């Protein structure tokens, strides 16, 4: 029974190898754009967290939720226009709610890391938030790449 998969390296055509390499390069470039957009979002997040916690005197976990949500509006707009501009399919409203749902899980990841490191690790909430955002970013990129901005089907 044939499964139509190559059984050796020699059976993969040069064009297929170039195509796979091109897709890898495209993914790396997209990830770099995501990181740049994320840096802007991270700045919004950190500033919001600091202002809401230290100036408005909200509990740092509540501040974190609000600051992350504010940063999601900023990063959605930038990702929509730049990072995944070539993969916009369907309605922007649908993409926005997918983004919110996926990043809602990211918020949970971020806040969980923030809370654990602050409450049980004894770290300052700002330091803990850096680690929470880094862990959440991995989830956010992978899930948004696969689900929010899906590849257009080729004819």
Number of domains the chain is built from: 1
The residue length of the chain stands at 155
Interhelix angle 14-50/125-143, nearest 10 degrees: 150
Q: Is the pLDDT of residue 155 over 60?
A: no
Say if 138 falls within a structural domain: yes
The burial of 71, by beta-carbon neighbours within 10 Å (0-12 exposed, 13-18 middle, 19 or more buried), is given as buried
> pLDDT class for 154, splitting at 50, 70, 90?
very low
Residue 17's alpha-carbon distances to 13, 24, 117, 124, 142, in angstroms, are 6, 11, 44, 48, 23
**What is the value of pTM for the model shown?**
0.77
Say if 7 falls within a structural domain: no
Angle, CA 108 vertex, CA 70 and CA 152 arms, to 5°: 75
Look up residue 3 and give its DSSP letter. Answer: -
Lowest mean per-residue pLDDT among 3-7, 84-88, 122-126:
3-7
Say if 2 falls within a structural domain: no
Say if 98 falls within a structural domain: yes
pLDDT of residue 153: 43
Say if 3 falls within a structural domain: no
Four-residue CA torsion sign, 141, 49, 70, 120: positive
58 versus 141: the higher-pLDDT residue is 58
59 versus 148: the higher-pLDDT residue is 59
Residue that is written with structure tokens 């590849």 in the block: 151
> pLDDT class for 152, splitting at 50, 70, 90?
low
> Helix, strand or coil for residue 72?
helix
**Structure token digits, residue 129:** 């938030």
Say if 4 falls within a structural domain: no
Instruction: Express each pLDDT in 36-93 by its tens digit.
Output: 999 999 999 999 999 999 999 999 999 999 999 999 999 999 999 999 888 888 899 9
Say if 90 falls within a structural domain: yes
User: Which range of residues forms the domain containing residue 46?
Assistant: 13-148
Say if 154 falls within a structural domain: no
């Amino acid at each position: 029974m044939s499964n139509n998969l190559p059984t050796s390296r020699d059976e993969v055509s040069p064009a297929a190898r170039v195509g796979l390499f091109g897709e890898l390069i495209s993914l790396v470039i997209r990830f770099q754009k995501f990181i740049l957009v994320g840096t802007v979002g991270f700045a919004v997040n950190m500033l919001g967290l600091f202002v809401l916690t230290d100036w408005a005197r909200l509990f740092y976990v509540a501040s974190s939720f609000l600051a992350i949500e504010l940063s999601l509006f900023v990063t959605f707009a930038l990702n929509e226009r730049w990072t995944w501009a070539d993969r916009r399919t369907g309605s922007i409203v649908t993409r926005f709610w997918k983004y919110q749902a996926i990043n809602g899980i990211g918020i949970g990841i971020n806040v969980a890391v923030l809370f654990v490191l602050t409450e049980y690790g004894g770290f300052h909430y700002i330091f803990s938030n850096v680690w929470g955002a880094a862990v959440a970013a991995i989830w956010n990129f992978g899930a948004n790449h696969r689900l929010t901005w899906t590849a257009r089907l080729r004819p």
